[in-house]
Every structure is written in C-alpha cells, then in structure tokens.
Structure 1
Amino acid sequence: MSLPVLVALVVFGIALSVAAVHFTGGTKTATLAGSDQALSRFAEDFPDEVATTVRLTADARTAFLDLRNGRTGIVQSIGDCFLTRIVTASDIVALDVNDSGAISLKLADFTWKGGRFAFADRADTEAVAAALRNLDQAREAA
C-alpha cells in the first residue's frame, strides 16, 4: 500500500471516529434543570449533608449550596457529568468579584481549580461571594 493511500485512510478513520463521538452525544455539556436536580446530584455524593439554599449560575452549569457549619457545596458540570465538592476555608486560594458581577474562584484542589461563575441575579452573586468570603476570612483568622 502506498503512503498517500495509507495517510488518507488514517485521516478518514480519525474523522469518522470524531464524528461518531459527536453524533452520539460525546460533546454534549451537562446542565442543571433546576435546584432540585442540583440537590439530588449533591445528595448522591454527600447523603449526610443538608443544603439550605441553592443558587444556580446563569448558564445552569454550576450550583452553589449553603451547608451547615459555614461550608459551601458545589455541583459543577464537567462534560456530560457532574463534579461535586464541599469547599471549606482551607480550599480557597483566591476569590474575586469583578465589575460585571462574575465570581472568580481559585481552589487549592488539584483535581478542580475553580473557575469563573456568573449569576443571572446580582443578589445571588453577592450571597455566594459573601459565603465564600466568610470561608476565606475564617481561614485567614485561623
């Protein structure tokens, strides 16, 4: 078999594989249907935790949950799955709220570094930022 034919077959095979993954839903990003789904997904990983308030980001890819003892739960979509975390004071490396009302959060966890989160409601942005700042201030006081 000549080299050009082999190259063409390999390129065609790779393109076919990528198309198959895309058309079977492999490139779909998960979103949360609402607060109930966020609570349910969080309860799968942390059944003993009780969330008092759930705040969804504008794109419905992340939910922040107020937990007891001043901790914050997070449900974040990663691809077509969800990642759940409980954030404590020692997890926060940096926290910033920019002029557009988005929260930038950097965590010490090497498996998930945080991200930028925008909320549809400014009150949600301020409530999540206040909860995370309280965690950050508790860490600095310790």
Structure 2
Amino acid sequence: MSLGALIVVVAFGVMLVVGVVHYTGSARRKDSRDHGEVILEFARAYPGEAIRSVVMTGDGVGSFLRLAGGKTGFLQLMGRHYVARLIEPGDVSVEAIEGRPGLSIKFHDSSLRGGDYVFDSAEDVAEVSLWLCGGFSSANAVLEGPDEGQNA
C-alpha cells in the first residue's frame, strides 16, 4: 500500500468517527436544565426561600419559580453562569407576546435587563404572569378576609 493511499484511508476513518459522534448527539451542548437543577441552583442563591413550583421557558434557559409570600424567583442561564433574582409584585412590567405563548418582561431597576420569554403553553404564560403581577398574593388576601385568625 502506498503512502498516499494510507493517508486517504486514515483521513476517511477520522471523518467517519467525527460524523458518528456528531449524529449520535454526543457533540451537542446541553443548554437546557431540568426542574431539579433549577431548584438546586436557586436554593444555593436564596437558601431561605420556599419554592412551590417551577415553570421553565421553552428553550430551558429561563426559569420562573413560585415562592412563598407572593414573591417570584427568576433563574437565567447566561453563558456558563446562572443569574438568580427575587421579584416582588410590581418590580416588573409584563406584556403578552403576539402570536406566541410568551411574555415580554421589563425590570424596573437596571440591574437586570428584561426580554422576551417564550413558554411551551399558554397555561404556563398565564401562571407566570399571575406570579409576576401578584395575582396569587391578591387572591389570598381576598380569600382570607379581614376576620381571618380572630376568634368570634
């Protein structure tokens, strides 16, 4: 076998291995997270907050967490780092995105820029918008009423 033929065979073998790795998915980057990872990362940043539920964006890069006390948690993947934030009702402006199940969110302070967050379903959009606008805390105040906790 000549040296030229050997080089062609080796180059073909290397290209075949690279193609197999690419098509089997081993070369893909994992940008999305699961609910467990979101809970662990947020709990690392805010250990005293009780998490009630999690809704992730469709691409898995942004996550919104319903917390006790009417607050909302926000966790976003930025490069290789996470940004975690507590959001009180009234800290953000929320608008629906036309034609997609998503929200356009603007933070009132300038420490974190807002953006468009697209979810998997309209139900997820409705739930997160309730959290951000304080719908659950307002509903709890109405349901409890002024006589809650007093003996008659």
For the 8 Å contact 2:101–2:120, the answer to whether it is kept is: no
Q: 1:80 offset after TM fit, Å?
A: 1.4
Q: Return the alpha-carbon distance in structure 2 between the equivalents of residues 60 and 76 of structure 1.
A: 9
Consecutive unaligned residues in structure 2, runs of 5 or more: 1-28, 139-152
| 1:86-125 map, 5 Å | 86-92=86-92, 94-99=93-98, 100-125=100-125
The residue number in structure 2 matching 1:131 is 131
Distance verdict in 2 for CA 1:131–1:34, change over 3 Å: same
Q: Return the alpha-carbon distance in structure 2 between the equivalents of residues 111 and 79 of structure 1.
A: 17
Question: TM-score, normalising length from structure 2?
Answer: 0.65
Report percent identity of matched pairs.
Answer: 24
For the 8 Å contact 1:30–1:77, the answer to whether it is kept is: no
Consecutive unaligned residues in structure 1, runs of 5 or more: 1-28
Q: 1:115 offset after TM fit, Å?
A: 1.3
Residues 88-132 of structure 1, C-alpha deviations (whole Å, 9 max, x = no match): 12422x210123221011002322122110001221111001211
Instruction: Point out the structure with max Rg over C-alpha.
Output: 2
* Paired positions, count: 108
CA RMSD of aligned residues (A): 2.0
Identify which of structures 1 and 2 has the higher relative contact order when contacts are C-alpha pairs closer than 8 Å and 6+ apart.
Answer: 1
Q: 1:39 offset after TM fit, Å?
A: 0.3
The residue number in structure 1 matching 2:52 is 52
Q: Return the alpha-carbon distance in structure 1 between the equivalents of residues 102 and 114 of structure 2.
A: 13
For the 8 Å contact 2:33–2:61, the answer to whether it is kept is: no
| SS of alignment partner, residue 44 of structure 2 | helix
